[in-house]
Structure 1
Amino acid sequence: MVHSCLSFADLVPLKSIDAQLEVKDHVATLVSTLNYENKEDKPLEAVFVFPLPGDAAVCHFSAQIGETHIVAEVKEKQQAQEEYDDALSSGQQAFLLEESEQSPDIFSLKVGRLPPGESASIRLEYVTELAVQADDGLRFCLPAVLNPRYQSQGSEGPSVQVTSVPASLVPYSLSFSAQVSSPRPISKIESSCSLEPLQYLNADQTQATIKLGGGHKFDRDIELLIYYKDAHQPSAVVEAGQASAKPGSLMGDPVVMVSLYPEFPQSVMSSLATCGEFVFLMDRSGSMGCSMNNSTPQETRISSARDTLLLLLKSLPMGCYFNIYSFGSSFEHIFPKSVEYSEKTMKEALEEVEKMESNLGGTEILQPLKHIYSQACIPKHPRQLFVFTDGEVGNTKEVTDLVKKNADSHRCFSFGIGEGASSALINGMAKDGGGHAQFITGADRMQPKVMQSLRFALQPAVEDISVSWDLPKGVSATVLSQPITAIFQGQRSLIYAQLTLQVSSEEADGTVTVKYSLAGHPSQSQLHFNLKPAEDSGLTVHRLAARTMIRSLESEERTQSEQNDEEMKKRVVELSVQSGVSSFFTAFIAVNKDSGESVEGPLVRRNIPTPFFPSESCATQCTHLSSSFHFTGSWLDMPALSAAEPPQPRKDPVLQLVSLQKASGCWMLDANLAAMLGKTSEQVEKAKPPSVVWASILALIWLHGFKMDVMEEWELLSMKAASWIKAQNGNIYNQQGSVTFTMMCLKQKVKLDAKIILVKSFLSFSSTCVRVC
């Protein structure tokens, strides 16, 4: 992608964008109205390259010019482009909307021959499924930031010309409002943007509205996190076909959308996996030197990633295997191949992690992925790949195709860091790799989100997944979505199916069953649903199903022979035209043939700027540079401490304490730990009992007593510590009852009691005080 700076001598015809979101349960419909005005004395062609969610189904595009309303049609892309060019050549007004060849989350909108003094309103509509986050929130993101996408060396296809300005200089306004409805109460809606207070529309709180606060600065994407009460309720929506469509076609038949939330037995979930190969792939391109957000410029993407790797490595189970790769224009790895996790290998890895800077240039992610996949898998250690990137990658489709090709050998967990991360890349890698995607934006901390995904990775892999239907006589189901390849505890599994009704079955019921094997035991999730179509659902479900099929066919097309390639392309075009949903091979085209008079005069092109995310640490105006920030402080080999020379603590005390933990899960009772807890070496030496167990208990008490607000970050490593304590000799548990009592507090997570224990243990450092508490 080529970015250029906007000269403000050029007038920008786009004046405002109004975005209205409607959320029904986990499906979102966004209608955006773009208002243009030509204040120049010549006709304009306004070109706007902007981001959209990568999995969105663009299903409507129209233009209003004066009293004339023009609805665009979906046509084969080359045909649409030729019609647009012909219309402009003949003096007609024309409008073209097309998906870029680079990535499915970038679109180009052209408003052609807007006459002097004339205004136009463009209406753009898309539908999308809301992804479930690891904390059960549903995430909607209206991308506002379009950062430069690195064009890989030797990559094919033209780059997209994008005009960018810093967020503070965007010359048009944005308004945003949302209406949310669900069968279940809405507990809260959060955002990294400034929102007006949530307004409930009814007493049971199943409908609500919310608006973006005034003066949006375009310095971040507009993100909503929607939380429902009892979110894990399975559901099925049956939508009637389009009356004008041919029966037997996708749009002519009913379509059902099934949402299942498999629940795993507690006996399986109580013990996390103790095996696995964990491969961490870290982006070290120049853009990783950017600040995570403008409110804390000292925390860069790369420094947050280093802290996250510390938590990940400390949380891994003994006996697993791991390796760490990093990439930019080239790639590096800490070990030639994955090594067994031990104190020695963990320490060696952390020493290298601490040196990581955003100094490897571009964003060539394809080569390290190929190298990782070329490594033989380790028997009985399922591979779990964690990818950290700010998503500024140009060859998105090549990357996701590679992940999909190797889906049988691993699970891929992806993390989009910072504003403007490519949703097509981050979501695509996780979806095609059978894992889970997370986005870290605004004031989000990376660590809790990554640790939530590690919990998923430590869950047993679900195998032998199958879907079966029990339907009335005369009704059959054809599954339209890709086969389910991954199931996680509490996460949604989504199925689309076309229903063929040979008889009226509106009052009948159907059943869908997902069967799978978990830790060697057969399990299943089942949902009964009514076949009567839902009211007022429009064609939303059909369009989402069409989008799912289109993306699947496009992916197949890229891996087919030339002959099959043309056949697959033809199928995509037919499905796109039939459903009215955009694709890589089609475009929306509208020509104003009713104006009567041609718009004469030389045509002047005006590029509409998009904001990118500059910060003091990574960019000057219109320039994307590497950060000069350097990480300060070390969480390795803290020097020996004495009462006269207290330690220099890290700004984050949790990470300081975690840095002292051993790979086995324990802490050493030494001056480093004492200093972290505010004690001197002399007090440590007099402590009773002077044991590693006691040190580990004190560390756990401190975490439970003072850091429950960030428990997601340290819970896994505390479980490892608790398991280590339990594995020690039984006589340890009889030392004045202190350990037994402490473990009880930890098990019950009694925050207040833990604080009391901690304070009193500081006063005397005596197990007696713990027992007395």
Structure 2
Amino acid sequence: MTVLEGLQYDNGSKCVKIPFIGVEVSAEVIDTVARVNLIQCYRNDNNFTVNAIYKFPLPPSAAVNDFQILWDDGTKIVAKVEKKKIASGIYNSAVQSGFSAYLLEEKTPEVFEIKVGNLQSMQTITVHIGYVQELTNDLKMDNLVRFELPLTIAPRYTPPGIPFKATHVSYSQDAYAYTLEITVSCRMSGRVTNITSDSHAITTEFNIDNDGNVARVRLTNSDEVLDKDFVMLIESEGSDNPRAFVEYNPETDTNCVMLTMVPRFSFERHYRTELIFIVDCSGSMNGIKIENTKAALDLFIRSIPNETYFNIILFGTGYVTLFDKSRCNSQGILDKALKFVDNLSANMGGTQIYSPLRWAFDHAQKDMSTTIILMTDGEVNNTEELIKLTDTEIRKCKNPKYGVRVYTLGLGNSVSHHLVDGIARVGQGFAQYIGDCDMFNGKVVQILKNAVQPPITNYIVKWTPDAEHSISAERDTRKPTNIKKLSFFTPAQHINTDELHTTNIASNRQQSPNVIPVITPHSRLAVFCFLAPGQVPRKTIRLTGDSVEGLITIDVKFERLGNGTLVHTLAARRMIEEIEHGTSYLD
């Protein structure tokens, strides 16, 4: 079963598409956040009124803050937020009364649906959707910000016993009749040195208005079809640097602080650890995805440090393991693993991740830390079940010294970000992506370095002059035996291109995420804090933690953004996400 892209109506026997006239995307990237305005134009060419449904993809981290409908006679309809049941009742009542009505709902964290009631014959409507989102870094190199615009909702495999969810978008031949325009303005704190896209041909302008920090990007070909996500990498000087932004919202009389950085630190010695690679060999991985998977896994295996234990699980409808339990790296073990990798192919059927993931948790070593690295295109329909499994297993871990983490590596041009990001988030790891045309050696090497490094524990963030907020993804009650002081950000550290403990926070500040994620080198950290009316932040935000080699800390002076709601909206989106997953300060 598939769902046609864009606006459609049911004629009683099948879903019929309403003609797509054009798609326009305008975005503004400001350092590590983005404002996006998505415009889609439709026309009802029928000689009768229809009730239509419109499905479209958005990043799971997006916070929708604008929804408008523009009629061809100039009438503008601006939406307002209501509780789901109330909104649905208002919509149904209006449609039954013969009025035009519009309803926007989140169906999954990466698929939204708009219902259009009583679209008149020959009427043209333009749908405007605005959202804001946080941006991540990319491990190809330092100072690289990744902007990704989802243009597809890829087919999702449904394991037996899981209710089917129609999220697949099919692209018909007449999709070539419409135009796609993308314009991205970049306003960075440092000079923009390069902008690239492996997914689409782009035209780039630098030094806009003689300002080296400003650039503009346009899609070169307006006849591009929406068959793959748009990915753009922005390189600008200092974009990894620690920053603390303070935004004031006069409507609520509140300050909201955003602390962001790409940590750079390393430890002097290697610590014994275990790696378990879970590799997707289902049919959807056929072609360039499985070839990239083999190449990346081969590099992973060849780069594993001595005295590191590892295992490989290949999965599809079923799964197979290289060893019955992880083995310590040696030449003989390495040769066997490389032969195992060389023979893998996308011939194992459907995408059933649950059982191999369950196996990895059950067989993790008890006397060393374990990192699970999941490599998949994420094309499944039981995403929530997999996230819940990961969350449950991570919460079971009582020993921060010998814990389990889950890293994810999304493969292909239409990856499920909800699955890849979601598992990494609750798994106290981080997510990275390899597109069909990506160069990925640097990513693999840095992922491996992070995977064999012990976690930082006992985070403390001092937001205000009178108090501190102490909640971390890992809690270790032992006193550090080493008093050496390290820094979360050492500029000389570059990318080499070759149980959850929570406490309720004080009422005058609310941090998001309430549980600070595991901090790893070269993976962007972003933490928000709402301050109550009248509260002001410290002049310097301080983050500290304990590492196996001593205290690790950093002080970041805040920069005032002025009045606005951008940072507030991003922080609120984070808090909603935490409530949905049971990790907020309310739980």
Same fold (TM over 0.5): yes
Equivalent positions of 1:56-455 (< 5 A) are: 56-65=62-71, 66-100=73-107, 103-134=108-139, 135-136=141-142, 137-156=144-163, 159-160=165-166, 162-165=168-171, 169-192=175-198, 193-214=200-221, 215-243=223-251, 245=252, 252-264=253-265, 268-269=266-267, 271=269, 273-289=270-286, 291=287, 300-379=288-367, 381-407=368-394, 408=397, 409-455=403-449
Structure 2 unmatched runs, 5+: 9-13, 398-402, 468-506
Equivalent positions of 1:667-686 (< 5 A) are: none
- The one-letter code matched in structure 1 to 2:557 is H
CA-CA distance at 1:82 after TM superposition: 3.0
Structure 2 distance, partners of 1:213, 1:122, is 24
Equivalent positions of 1:28-39 (< 5 A) are: 28-39=34-45
* Aligned partners of 1:234 and 1:261 also within 8 Å: yes
In the alignment, which residue of structure 1 is the partner of 2:478? none
* CA distance 1:222–1:5, shift in 2 (3 Å): closer
* Aligned partners of 1:309 and 1:353 also within 8 Å: yes
CA-CA distance at 1:447 after TM superposition: 4.0
* Aligned partners of 2:155 and 2:167 also within 8 Å: no
> Which structure features the higher share of strand residues?
2
SS in 2 for 1:301: helix
CA-CA distance at 1:418 after TM superposition: 0.8
TM-score normalised by length of structure 1: 0.64
SS in 2 for 1:336: coil
Structure 1 distance, partners of 2:80, 2:261, is 35
Question: Does 2:546 align with 1:517?
Answer: yes
* Aligned partners of 2:185 and 2:215 also within 8 Å: yes
* CA distance 1:9–1:126, shift in 2 (3 Å): closer
* Aligned partners of 1:189 and 1:198 also within 8 Å: no
- The one-letter code matched in structure 1 to 2:146 is R
TM-score normalised by length of structure 2: 0.84
Greater RCO (Cα-Cα under 8 Å, separation 6 or more): 1
* CA distance 1:376–1:254, shift in 2 (3 Å): same
- The one-letter code matched in structure 2 to 1:57 is A
CA-CA distance at 1:517 after TM superposition: 1.7
* Aligned partners of 1:170 and 1:218 also within 8 Å: no
* CA distance 1:395–1:10, shift in 2 (3 Å): closer
In the alignment, which residue of structure 2 is the partner of 1:539? 565
CA-CA distance at 1:286 after TM superposition: 0.6
CA-CA distance at 1:326 after TM superposition: 1.4
Structure 1 distance, partners of 2:349, 2:566, is 43
* CA distance 1:406–1:512, shift in 2 (3 Å): farther
Bigger Rg over Cα: 1
- The one-letter code matched in structure 2 to 1:420 is S
* Aligned partners of 2:299 and 2:444 also within 8 Å: no
- Percent of pairs identical after alignment? 29
- The one-letter code matched in structure 2 to 1:514 is L
> Which structure features the higher share of helix residues?
1
Structure 1 distance, partners of 2:392, 2:554, is 28
- 1:595-647, Cα deviation, whole Å (9 max, x unpaired): xxxxxxxxxxxxxxxxxxxxxxxxxxxxxxxxxxxxxxxxxxxxxxxxxxxxx
CA-CA distance at 1:170 after TM superposition: 4.9
CA-CA distance at 1:502 after TM superposition: 3.3
- The one-letter code matched in structure 1 to 2:68 is S
Structure 1 distance, partners of 2:463, 2:171, is 53
CA-CA distance at 1:546 after TM superposition: 0.7
* CA distance 1:310–1:491, shift in 2 (3 Å): closer
* CA distance 1:147–1:262, shift in 2 (3 Å): closer
Structure 2 distance, partners of 1:141, 1:162, is 19
- The one-letter code matched in structure 2 to 1:211 is R
* CA distance 1:167–1:535, shift in 2 (3 Å): farther
Aligned-residue CA RMSD in angstroms? Answer: 2.7
CA-CA distance at 1:394 after TM superposition: 1.1
